[in-house]
Structure 1
């Protein structure tokens, strides 16, 4: 895959035609936009029913309202990490899935992108399509269209098709469309929140108030579920890569972090309040049913429209960046065919989940397991960005010949791969879920320390090993 654009293939980043550029370097003459544009691009995917779901989970874990909100605020600080790494895109002029060659080596990065980048993309594609499938199917059931198999599958196919079209048109359409989508979503979800608030039990108290180890176990598990969202966005450089090279990294970090954190805090908190409105038993039928039952009839369709818009926003971004991940792995595909492949895989996984689980079950388990790879990967990326001070050379990143700067040891960066694997192991040892509890989690009474421990182990190992001869070759 060439990293340059041929003269007769001059690329124009516009909303009116499909984006043919993938991981190719972006020349300075083609750069455009402002850092503040990123706020709305990140806000649109995060005004989400998935936030309502994980907010409700905090109450189901036994937390009081104020405890749940405190956990949300604490987890929201992690949005600074996608912000910090985002500026590596404009610095290098290419996708984040190519920038990570600096961390893992030429061949090591193929391993990383194939197993880590794709896993993260598949989880979020399936979870958000799953949310729209369940809500859309339930709304259709209420008007008499009630096939438990083909209705949710049909909703999934329609929404995924629209999503992939947006991803095919790419960055230009995302830049033009997402501010309007973010505004529409804020209005829709604020209307929904307005109907939820009068029914909130502001005096809510957990049926069995938690204390001691049990309390810290619920707090830590809730934090892990929440942390998985910001830590998963290792694709933030892809969205920022068209910005002029002179754009201040602090501005990019602030716009990205605030765009993700503000709706994250607001609508996860709404999810907490929703759980006090309907009670724990209402969630046995699913959060989608509980929410629609709470709303007036005319608001239900409005909510479904909002969920579909959000699904398209989040998954178009995910499919867009995942298509470039396919190219970075080494497949000789242009970006548009790669996007279609991503869409087919994500749709298949979504249909499987539609037929086998509820939204709440799928979200909680998949988001907890996600941190095994996303936490260490994010920590390594942040350490590398800070070490290099955004000094990434796009031409050197594409030099995949033996002896190149990022060839390291036979194409593998031992510091990066070791930090990723051992950080992931440390995360798993501290993780506490319904189907898996690591020995450290068991020893502490199921207090889940997976995120801080995994990230600290990965960051410390990577920084330490880079100072040894193993880091020779890729040093700044």
Structure 2
């Protein structure tokens, strides 16, 4: 089993020049370092992404006017606040968020939840982002005469995933060191691309069939669900913040994390919506990534593909890093570095399957909508627990997995946490509207999608109420 306390004989060093062997082990006060503002760049690098262009174009495909799409994009960035809030539990506990959530779900229950929220969601996002780089890399190589529709995308996937796993192996120290430079480089590339996109924007764009009433609200709410699913999936944010000193102000952690993710998402998702106004139906059918490359000069197209690959490595490197700790928290007897390799192999296999079976636009929209069934309730419960406990987590207690543990609850299960996440997931599914599944509540309301707010409100309310009873551990914290 991986060591779970800093009293273990192994010495851990958090540096950019050596692989990080620490996984979920506790971080002592003498090992804490960094500043909250460093988190801004750590979160900006993964979110200067071509997927933002894809999602922005989706807002127009949903039938929204340009101004409506821009408002939905801004609203969809608001859930980044939750990503920032859960991040503050990392420095408080000195360990991974996948261990902190033992306080929410119980020692055994947490293993089930982490298997979904900390690993399954991570694997899906690995595949989505590698899929983007695979398609765009294949489009670029096609211009050089490499046109095999199967071998080329798979080859790009394997190369990019190998680099990604290497970043995850070096871990937190490397991420903290290089992501600021990566963020700045990506922002410059994407701003130059934006400058070439703007002349093609139809500023007088009007939806072919203007929407109104329930149909309009259906498109608005579906768009919001797609957008909100990204920040709600980042319940791993404590993992990146956990090295910060305990004295770091929580408000600074929240602001740096939320703004680092939200600002690039708003800007470049808006650019994606603008781009869609100038692309005809045939271009959209070919894929927004291919349409984008067609608008750019060859040198900039190549630079953009390089930027997409760098962004993919930065996002998936961080995702692989945190999901490797999730595997440890589930109880699998594996060290962090081998765990990162396992996660990378699984994500690569899923990406190869998607490369051969779907388009980027279809894959992104469908997966992002379905993910909120798990991620929305889980994020609401985590946030509620932090507020109710006033962010007080004892790392040593969290590693006590015996039957006398404070977090053993009822046979290893937290009734408040498990009830809230299941009920919230059911409500989310009932209110969800996708191409392959429409919940009865959504259908009765004219396909309006209230899955995110409904699921989160129900989860937070149930957990908040039950955790204050004898079934929870909050009374001794109050």
User: What TM-score, normalized by structure 1, do the two folds share?
Assistant: 0.99
Report the Cα offset of residue 11 of structure 1. Answer: 1.4
> CA-to-partner distance for each residue in 1:388-414, whole Å, 9 max, x for gaps?
111000000000001211010011001
Judge conservation of contact 1:102–1:474 (CA < 8 Å) in 2: no
Query: Which residue does 1:178 correspond to in 2?
Result: 179
Q: CA offsets, 1:416-441, max 9 Å, x none?
A: 01100110000000000000000000
- Counterpart-to-counterpart distance in 1, 2:40 and 2:268: 16
- Counting only pairs closer than 5 Å after superposition, residues 293-304 of structure 1 correspond to structure 2 as 293-304=294-305
In structure 2, what is the equivalent of residue 112 of structure 1?
113
Structure 2 counterparts to residues 12-27 of structure 1, below 5 A = 12-27=13-28
2:389 counterpart of 1:388:
yes
Looking at structure 1, the residues matched to 373 and 306 of structure 2 have their Cα atoms a distance apart, in angstroms, of 33
Counterpart in the other structure of 2:412: 411
Superposition deviation, residue 296 in structure 1: 1.1
Q: Aligned equivalents of 2:232 and 2:150: distance in 1?
A: 34
8 Å Cα contact 1:129-1:160 kept in structure 2: yes
Cα shift readout 1:262-317 (whole Å, capped 9, x = no counterpart): 00100000000010111333111111111111111111101101100100010000
Paired residue secondary structure (1:2):
coil
C-alpha deviation, 1:465, in angstroms: 0.8
Q: Distance in 2 between matches of 1:474 and 1:401?
A: 21
Moved over 6 A (4+): none
1:45 aligns with 2:46: yes
For the residue of structure 2 that corresponds to 1:11, the secondary structure is coil
User: How has the CA–CA distance of structure 1 residues 230 and 255 changed in structure 2, closer, same or farther, with 3 Å as cutoff?
Assistant: same
Q: 1:77 to 1:464 in 2, by over 3 A?
A: same
Q: Does 2:153 match 1:164?
A: no
Structure-2 separation of matches of 1:91 and 1:108: 22
Name the CA distance, whole Å, in 2 between partners of 1:458 and 1:8. 41
Moved more, 209-218 or 116-125: 116-125
Instruction: Tell me what 1:276 maps to.
Output: 277
The 8 Å contact of residues 45 and 310 in structure 1, kept in 2 or not, is answered as yes
- Determine the structure 1 residue equivalent to 2:242: 241
What's the offset of the Cα at 1:115?
A: 2.2
- Which residue number in structure 1 is paired with residue 374 of structure 2? 373
Corresponding residue for residue 34 of structure 1:
35
User: RMSD in angstroms over aligned alpha carbons?
Assistant: 1.0
Once residues 106 and 378 of structure 1 are traced to their aligned partners in structure 2, the CA distance between those partners, rounded to angstroms, is 18
Q: Contact conserved, 1:18 with 1:170, CA < 8 A, in 2?
A: yes
Contact 1:40–1:178 (CA<8 Å) still a contact in 2? Answer: yes
Name the structure 1 match of 2:292.
291
- Preserved CA contact (<8 Å) 2:117 2:235: no
Question: Residues 6, 288 of structure 1: CA spacing in aligned structure 2 closer, same or farther, 3 A cutoff?
Answer: same
Q: Deviations over 1:112-151 (max 9, x none)?
A: 0112321210111000000000000010001101111100
2:134 maps to 133
1:215-251 Cα offsets, whole Å, 9 max, x none, are: 0000000000000011000000000000001101000
TM-score by structure 2 length?
0.98
| C-alpha contact (below 8 Å) 1:405/1:474 kept by paired residues | no
Match of 1:432 in 2: 433
In the TM superposition, residue 2 of structure 1 has moved relative to its aligned partner by 2.2
Matched, 1:4 2:5: yes
SS in 2 for 1:332: coil
Quick one: distance in 1 between partners of 2:473 and 2:346?
38
Contact (CA 8 Å) 1:406, 1:473: kept in 2 or not? Answer: no
| Distance in 2, Cα, partners of 1:116 & 1:83 | 17
- Report what 1:470 is aligned to: 471
Shift of 1:474: 7.9
How many angstroms does 1:36 deviate by? 0.2
Give the structure 2 partner of residue 324 of structure 1.
Answer: 325
Seen in structure 2, the aligned counterparts of structure 1 residues 385 and 473 have a Cα distance that, compared at 3 Å, is closer
Aligned counterparts of 1:243 and 1:422: Cα–Cα separation in 2:
34
TM superposition shift of 1:3: 1.2
Runs of at least 5 residues in structure 1 that lack an aligned partner in the other structure: none
2:433–2:448 Cα contact (<8 Å) kept: yes
SS at match of 1:405: coil
User: 1:8–1:469: structure 2 CA closer, same or farther, 3 Å change rule?
Assistant: closer
Give the equivalent residue in structure 1 for 2:155.
154
- State how far apart, in whole Å, the 2-side matches of 1:4 and 1:381 are: 23
Provide the residue aligned with 1:310 in structure 2.
311
Shift of 1:69: 0.5
The residue aligned with 2:144 is 143
On the 8 A contact 1:15/1:172 being kept in 2, the answer is yes
Q: Cα–Cα, structure 1 residues 393 and 474, in superposed 2: closer, same or farther, change >3 Å?
A: farther
* Total equivalences in the alignment: 476
